[in-house]
Amino acid sequence: MLQQRIQGLEEQEHLPSLLAADARELAHQLQEHQKKIFSPTAQKTMRLFTPAEAAAFIGIGEGYLRQIASEGHGPQPLSNGRRMYAVEDIDRIRRVLDEGSKSGKYIPHRRPGEKLQVVSVMNFKGGSGKTTTSAHLSQYLALRGYRVLAIDLDPQASLSALFGHQPELDVGEAETLYGAIRYEDPRPIAEVVRSTYTANLHLIPGNLELMEFEHETPKAMVGGSAETLFFARIGEALSEIESFYDVVVVDCPPQLGFLTMSALCAATSVLITVHPQMLDVMSMSQFLSMTSELMAVVEKAGGRTSYDWMRYLVTRFEPNDGPQSQMTGFMRAIFGNRMLQNAMVKSTAISDAGVTKQTLYEVERSQFIRGTYDRAMDSLSLVNAEIEEMIRKVWGRK
């Protein structure tokens, strides 16, 4: 009997060793897969845009764009006579339109007296479309001409990977936001900001080292070694570079830790993503309760708890799914105007683009069934335009 028990113990699997081995093998295979679909020496690029897309980003009619381009301010026509617009072309046309004008109608940078907008995108549960929302919002605002900084605060670093920075290969020690907010020898935040292949969009990438902030903060709080309380560290770091940006989009980790609380205290606005299914909404109920309790504690310590706006965004929405429509209506009845009017629809176009680590703004329309692509893009545009409108309202703009 005893021998059988000993033999049974010997046959048991050592979980830490198994997890470590699986992690190493998975990381290796993912890197090999990444090399096949995206060469290590390759650089991601933003695709060219049609005249209709370029005109929409600039905020003018397509006919007016053709007139400006024919005057020598656009790209050269292709062999078929059509013009396709790079982001740089769109920016150049904005400058031409704003020349001699002080209105800043086409170059939407912040004006004196308009504060930096910091939008924290969050949810307690993974799979809510948080990173997808953050990536597309950041790119949309950059394409619209705003100076945007995207911050990947999630140790899983999916946002970084979408923007061409592989957390295992391209992001070294202290090259995440952790480097700028750590308690010992923090770096200037400007040193961890990176450019991206999208004009007007910069990135602070993430990787697993962000977890160090979760581990070090309790020690710093007990030892009293931190000159700046944990919840003020991100805001203090951003103050060093705020003059260079109009909007900061923060992709928060899917848990209520010190990183998330610090991001909330640095934010001027909060966007909470939610998948309209019963289990997800029940989970969000617990998340909201815990967040309110923690924010009350932070408020007593002097943290920011008031915002320009807070909205719920329905993500991965299937309009023909009856239970999802009912749950969305249920939330609208409870939250009222704190729900965005538009929802982010579930689309194979978005998920298929994600397979090659691209956003919908990067993939060619020809890769998809036209109706599928157009429905996804229309949904993205409506959601992002609604958020842009709230940002402009805070600045007092029409």
Q: Tell me: the pLDDT tens digits for 104-133?
A: 788 999 999 999 999 999 887 666 788 999
The arrangement of strands across the sheet holding 309-314 comes to 194-195, 201-204, 148-152, 247-251, 117-122, 269-274, 309-314
pLDDT greater than 80 at residue 360: yes
- Structure confidence at residue 16 as a pLDDT band (50, 70, 90): confident
- Tokens standing for residue 360: 């919908």
The matching CATH number, chosen from 3.40.1190.20, 3.40.50.1000, 3.40.1410.10, 3.40.50.300, for 117-395 is 3.40.50.300
If you average pLDDT over every residue of the chain, what do you get?
85
Q: What is the pLDDT of residue 206?
A: 94
Q: What is the pLDDT of residue 11?
A: 60
162-185 residue pLDDT tens: 898 888 888 889 999 999 999 988
- Structure confidence at residue 189 as a pLDDT band (50, 70, 90): very high
pLDDT greater than 90 at residue 138: yes
Interval 365-390 mean pLDDT: 89
Q: What is the pLDDT of residue 364?
A: 83
Min mean pLDDT across 143-152, 283-292, 389-398 is at 283-292
Interval 235-241 mean pLDDT: 94
Min mean pLDDT across 2-11, 164-173, 289-298 is at 2-11
Cα 319 to Cα 130, 140, 322, distances in angstroms:
19, 24, 8
Interval 262-280 mean pLDDT: 87
Identify whether the C-beta of residue 51 lies closer than 8 Å to the C-beta of residue 83: yes
Min mean pLDDT across 117-131, 187-201, 215-229, 269-283 is at 215-229
CA torsion through residues 239, 245, 247, 252, sign: negative
- Structure confidence at residue 1 as a pLDDT band (50, 70, 90): low
pLDDT greater than 60 at residue 14: yes
User: What whole-number distance in Å separates Cα of residue 380 and Cα of residue 361?
Assistant: 10
Q: What is the pLDDT of residue 231?
A: 83
pLDDT greater than 90 at residue 240: yes
Determine what percent of the chain is predicted with pLDDT higher than 70: 88
Show me where the domains of the chain are located.
51-100, 117-395
Nearest to 159 by CA among 122, 134, 181: 134
CA torsion through residues 351, 357, 359, 361, sign: negative
Q: For residue 363, report the phi and psi dihedrals to the nearest 5 degrees.
A: -80, 155
Q: What is the pLDDT of residue 251?
A: 95
- Structure confidence at residue 294 as a pLDDT band (50, 70, 90): confident
Q: What is the pLDDT of residue 372?
A: 83
Cα 392 to Cα 111, 116, 273, 387, distances in angstroms:
11, 11, 21, 9
User: What whole-number distance in Å separates Cα of residue 163 and Cα of residue 154?
Assistant: 14
